[in-house]
Chains A and B, each alone.
Chain A
Amino acid sequence: MLTAKEIIETLRTKFNNHIIKADEKVSNQVFVRVVPDTLVPLIRFLSKTLSPRFLINAGTDLVRQDGKYLVSYIFSFDSDKIFLCIEVAVDAAAPDIDSITPIIAGANWSERETRDLLGINLRNHPDPRRLVLADDWPQGLYPLRRDFPYDYKPPSEPQNKVHLKKPPEGTKVIPIGPFYPVLEEPAYFKLFVDGETVVDCDYRGFYNHRGIEKIGDTKLTYNQICFMAERICGICGFIHSTCYCEAVEQAAGIEVPLRAHYIRTIMLELERIHSHLLWLGIATHIIGFDTLLMQAWRIREPVMWLCEKISGNRKTYGMNLIGGVRRDIPHQMHDKIITVIEKIERETLEVIDAVMGDTSLHVRLKDVGILTEEVGRSICTVGPTARGSGIPIDSRVDHPYAAYDRINFEVAVESGCDIWARTLVRLKETMESIKIVKQCLLEMPDGPIMGEVMEEIPSGREAICCVEAPRGEAVHYVQTGQDNRPYRWRVRAPTYPNLQCIPNIIKGERIADVPIIIGSLDPCYSCTERMAVVDVKTGVEKLYTKEEIIKR
């Protein structure tokens, strides 16, 4: 097993002259600052020898401090429980950087996001199109720079539209989205099809990028962000607020009482139970098996009522603050929780028993949407999507947070690589979650639920936190700052890496299977501004702009 010191040493022996500084700022989190030219050789060396998993990169504007932009590449050594953050300071006068996407395919989106939002130009990027910014956002205006006011509304420049790929020779275009009946949230997939078979696809999303990172580091305070982080996702909100709080607590060195850790764990697992049941319903709804949708959601509903009893609201619990939780789970509540989750356990087992032998489900889900382990690793997929392809990663075990280091549970891994495998992973996890909740209730110690929080959180510290959401792991990276708010807060939701594997897994599949393949990732994304209409008779594609739609 590697230790943080060994990682630093390995890097020092090979790149000693190019490393500016290397230290372990928070326990098991290594921050290494290197000169920009070394970045690509260093990452190539890393991925060949130690092969860490790429999580995310984050750009920070440090122009006021030292005239530079800081780009941090965050990696995870899963079995060694270590985060590695490679930092590069780029001169603000010429913010150019070599792309690492040719080495790590999973860095594609996050590098483009840094370029879009901070204006760091990428050399040798295979697909340098605009990703996050709106189609009519002006060129040369970068919202995450510190001199950009958070409430500034730039003029519209429609000529900057992103051009999606042209269909290959001999194929037709089928648009899926932006509004598509079975995928509840909008995203636009442009499928290139040859007859019934999907040849390739292109994706445009981020229509409703809400700029929460910007508002988090300019307007809100540490404790206000907890509530906004909770609203990143409608289903796994508590995961994001926990992840943010744990990152700040680690950076500032705040001690959280054990009872608060246990309460967080219970809420996280309750959230996983209802999210997986919700997914089971939606996935079977996509393939037209609405009976299971009704039953899965019926089974799920008592969890929502239970959460309402515990926290005061059925979905946005609002329980987390920096330093602990706001509401206790009193002893008289324990029996209620046990009754509810035991009923769910019983009913879920009944459902599992009933659907396991259903051959019509097997026909729709087995050998469909194959994500091989190799592709899954190269695109850095996470969560049930990765575990269904035999990649045994789970941040509850790899980077324990809350009370997970005290809890015994099994990580569900399947090697089927298809949608059925992902379904099995989720069903097994639901049962594991029920066990975890029971164990937590048994072992939960008495004590305070809110720790001592210092008057002012010291600035200039940084920390990374991963929390396993139902759909994968959420990553939050926090740099503490002045004025009682973080200097930089970077969020990566689990769908971010998972969605990047869509072109790979729908290649060669039939059109009718595409919705369930996309649905099998349990995607979570937001809203739209234009649509494509294909004239059936002539095959001519016309894109309607926002203005045209409004006029109609």
Chain B
Amino acid sequence: MFISKLKQALICLKAGRVTLPYPYKPSPTPEGFRGKLKVDINKCIGCAGCANVCPPGAIEVIDFDKGWRRIQFHLTRCIYCGRCEEVCPEKAVKLTDEFELSTNTKEDLDLTIEIYMDTCQRCTRCFKPEHPLDKMMVTGFRE
């Protein structure tokens, strides 16, 4: 009993203090950490592949006006699995190492992008024009 307690005391003494000084000192994340996602609007082609695979349904696609598509990323629902990053054909979605996301306003955790999409003459569904100049040629373009 006594020896056993002595051994336990030794373990504690040997370990010493292990508490990290976070948040007074930053705690870096390892490479490949899955944190808050970032979208590059210039790369996004509005294919909505990310919305299709998103397990919690955190990505919403709304075609709110003729030729305009709004993609909303609700980070309050996000589970940080990184499936959107994996399936994005243009590598527009990236998970960053940002993890300090607590906020008083819920809107801080909503990412919204709006893309002007062309309308296919056949199926009337949207697609993004190949070249930025092509956008200007389309009637109704107002960016």
Contact = CB atoms under 8 A, between A and B. Distances in A.
Nearest to A295: B11
Contact of B33 (A298, A312, A360): A312
Interface string A336-362: 000000000001001101111111100
B1 A350 contact: no
A546 B54 CA distance: 35
Nearest to A361: B4
Interface in B1-54: 1, 3-5, 7-8, 10-12, 15, 18, 29-34, 53-54
Contacts of B55: 220, 224-228
A313 B53 contact: no
B30 A308 contact: yes
A354 B32 contact: no
Given A312-B33, A313-B33, A313-B80, A357 B3 contact: yes
Contacts of B86: 326
Shortest beta-carbon contacts, A-B, top 4: A354-B7, A312-B34, A227-B55, A224-B55
Contact of A227 (B15, B29, B33, B79): B79
A60 B82 CA distance: 33
B136 interface: no
Contact of A295 (B15, B54, B79, B80): B15
Interface residues of B, number: 28
B53 A309 contact: no
B81 interface: yes
B30 A309 contact: yes
Contacts of A318: 34, 79-82
Given A309-B30, A313-B33, A360-B1, 9 more contacts: A224-B53, A295-B12, A301-B18, A308-B33, A318-B34, A318-B82, A326-B86, A357-B1, A357-B4
Nearest to B8: A354
A221 to B, nearest CB: 8
Interface in B60-104: 79-83, 86, 95
Contacts of A305: 30
Contacts of A228: 55
B81 A227 contact: yes
Interface string A301-340: 1000100110011001010000000110000000000000
B11 A358 contact: no
Given A227-B55, A359-B1, A350 B11 contact: yes
A312 B32 CA distance: 5
Contacts of A354: 4, 7-8, 10-11
A292 interface: yes
Contacts of B31: 309
Nearest to A292: B8
A327 B56 CA distance: 21
A462 B3 CA distance: 57
A316 B81 CA distance: 8
B85 to A, nearest CB: 10
A355 B8 contact: yes
Contacts of B12: 291, 294-295
Contact of A358 (B4, B30, B95): B4
Contacts of A160: none
Given A326-B86, A357-B4, A223 B53 contact: yes
Nearest to B19: A298
A245 to B, nearest CB: 14
29 contacts: A220-B55, A223-B53, A224-B53, A224-B54, A225-B55, A226-B55, A227-B83, A231-B79, A291-B8, A291-B12, A295-B11, A295-B12, A298-B18, A308-B30, A308-B33, A309-B31, A312-B32, A312-B82, A312-B95, A313-B34, A313-B80, A318-B81, A318-B82, A354-B4, A354-B8, A355-B8, A356-B4, A357-B3, A359-B1
Contacts of A301: 18
A475 to B, nearest CB: 22
A259 B40 CA distance: 34
A295 B7 CA distance: 12
A292 B1 CA distance: 15
A358 B8 contact: yes
Contacts of B3: 357
Contacts of A350: 7, 11
Contact of B4 (A225, A313, A327, A355): A355
Nearest to A227: B55
A318 B81 CA distance: 6
Contacts of A357: 1, 3-4
B59 to A, nearest CB: 12
Contacts of A231: 79
Nearest to B6: A354
Contact of A353 (B7, B15, B33, B54): B7
Nearest to B54: A224
A350 B4 CA distance: 11
A162 to B, nearest CB: 32
Contacts of B95: 312
Contacts of B11: 295, 347, 350-351, 354
Contacts of A309: 30-32
Contacts of B1: 357-360
A308 B4 CA distance: 34
A330 B86 CA distance: 18
Nearest to A313: B34
B26 to A, nearest CB: 16
Contacts of B15: 295, 298
Contacts of B18: 298, 301
Nearest to A310: B32
B139 to A, nearest CB: 38
B27 to A, nearest CB: 11
A129 to B, nearest CB: 34
A233 to B, nearest CB: 15
Contacts of A226: 55
Contacts of A351: 11
A309 B97 CA distance: 12
Contacts of B79: 227, 231, 316, 318
Contacts of B56: 227
Contacts of A291: 8, 12
